[in-house]
A = this chain, B = another copy of it.
């Protein structure tokens, strides 16, 4: 008799964004003529830049003739892209990596979800709270998260609160932790860690033989020099950290699907008998077995953002979004809201007024201002009392949303 993996049954029935969509659709059904502006889901709105479009046309033409047609590519990604990554994202910052430490993928969500396969099912994990739900849910599915308590917390997950009280800087855990998920610049709070703050975590991991799964999906939005673009800027990180990158927010690739994961050769985990096992060959084996490489077209598209024109064009779009972020922060602060993040990330984390719950404030915004935000509690217990706004809209729509919020507030 086929038995189900019953860890799946522990998951809450709905996914945060599905819940939001349901509420928005219900409102739309009752008010079909109302113009709703979404500052909720973190999807981009600006088109792919010309350098990427040209690369896609070129790659398409290549695929149309036998002489230049490309079938299966390397599971780890083409050398042309891995070399561009090494040179531009790392060497330019003084970080030396080898080509086979780079694994090109179809976006960071897959690998942040899958990488936990390499560690034992009973290792403990720590997450900053609030958090991107994929980190926890992927651990629930394999049974590693334990059971969910009435307080919304999983028994085998250590929560590291990030709130206004601690300036959104998580404290080092006081209990034993095997794996730590960090995302900086942070989704959902839009805050960042400085080099010195991140250093504490690398040192903690080295001292405690823990691993750091570091999600750097928003690094392109960093504006301040003391904020590291990669955890490998910190000495010793190669021994303890895996880093996830994505072109989704960097270059508007949410529909193109391409990113990469860095697995340094020094990083290892132990067997029960204390033998050290390097994770790089294990991840390679995992990818060769369960992944057949990223679309050739997507990889050529990614390569194009590293050309001089591509870099300029991509930067222009990032600046465009960051102008939104600055303007949003200013306008929302001016009407008396407490607003965090948005300096080195495309997200703003807004405290609900008067201790209102996240969902209540979400509903008020939807019903009164016709603006969709994301309730903070959907990202974890410490997200209660906040909502997330994204800076990915057009200038015009963002402006309009701010006007409406000011009017209702």
A81 adjacent to chain B (CB < 8 Å): no
Interface residues of A in 345-368 (CB under 8 A from B): none
Contact with B along A108-137 (1 / 0, CB 8 A): 011001100111111100000000011001
A47 (CB) vs chain B CBs: closest residue: B69
Which residues of B are found within 8 Å of A109, using beta-carbon distances?
290-292
Do B272 and A138 touch (CB < 8 A)?
A: no
- In angstroms, Cα B134 to Cα A230, docked, is 34
Report which of B66, B256, B272 forms a contact with A6, defined as CB distance below 8 A. B272
Contact A255 B138 (CB under 8 A): no
Chain B residues within an 8 Å CB radius of A44? 71
Set of chain B residues within 8 Å of A179, measured between Cβ atoms = 2
Whether B8 contacts A118 by the Cβ 8 Å rule is yes
Write out the residue numbers on chain B whose beta carbons fall within 8 Å of the beta carbon of A2: 119, 123, 178-179, 209-211, 269-270
Number of copies: 2
Measured CB to CB, the nearest residue on chain B to A107 is B292
A11: nearest chain-B partner, CB-CB = B285
User: Is the pair A4, B66 in contact by a Cβ cutoff of 8 Å?
Assistant: no
The stretch that binds B, out of A56-64, A87-95, A190-198, A401-409, is A56-64
A30 at the interface (CB under 8 A from B): no
* Given A8-B285, A113-B290, A119-B2; A64-B50 close (CB under 8 Å): yes
Residue of B nearest to A67 (CB): B47
> Whole-angstrom distance between the alpha carbons of A271 and B8 in the complex?
11
| Residue of B48, B110, B270 touching A69 (CB-CB under 8 A) | B48
Does chain B have a CB within 8 A of A73? yes
Contact assessment for A4 and B64 in the assembled complex, using a CB-CB cutoff below 8 Å: no
Q: Is A26 an interface residue (CB 8 A)?
A: no
Known contacts A2-B178, A137-B289, A289-B134; is A63 also within 8 Å of B53 by CB?
yes
A37 within 8 Å of B (CB atoms): no
* Bound CA span A11–B113, Å: 22
A355 to B45, CA, bound (A): 63
Check B53 against A66 for contact (C-beta < 8 Å): no
Docked CA distance A43–B74 (Å): 12
* Chain A, 10-39, CB within 8 A of any chain B CB: 11, 15, 18
Asked if B141 and A289 sit within 8 Å, CB to CB, the answer is: yes
> What residues of chain B lie closer than 8 Å to A311, measured between beta carbons?
none
Interface residues of A, Cβ cutoff 8 Å to B: 1-6, 8-9, 11, 15, 18, 41, 43-48, 50, 53, 56-57, 60-61, 63-66, 69-73, 106-107, 109-110, 113-114, 117-123, 133-134, 137-138, 141-142, 178-179, 208-211, 248, 252, 254-257, 268-272, 277, 279, 282, 285-286, 288-298, 394
A4-B268, A47-B65, A56-B60 known; 15 other A-B pairs, CB under 8 Å?
Answer: A4-B282, A5-B121, A9-B271, A15-B285, A46-B66, A47-B64, A60-B60, A70-B255, A71-B255, A109-B291, A134-B289, A255-B295, A257-B292, A257-B293, A297-B298
A-B contacts, 11 of them at CB < 8 A, read A2-B270, A5-B120, A6-B120, A45-B66, A45-B69, A56-B60, A56-B63, A72-B255, A109-B290, A248-B292, A295-B297
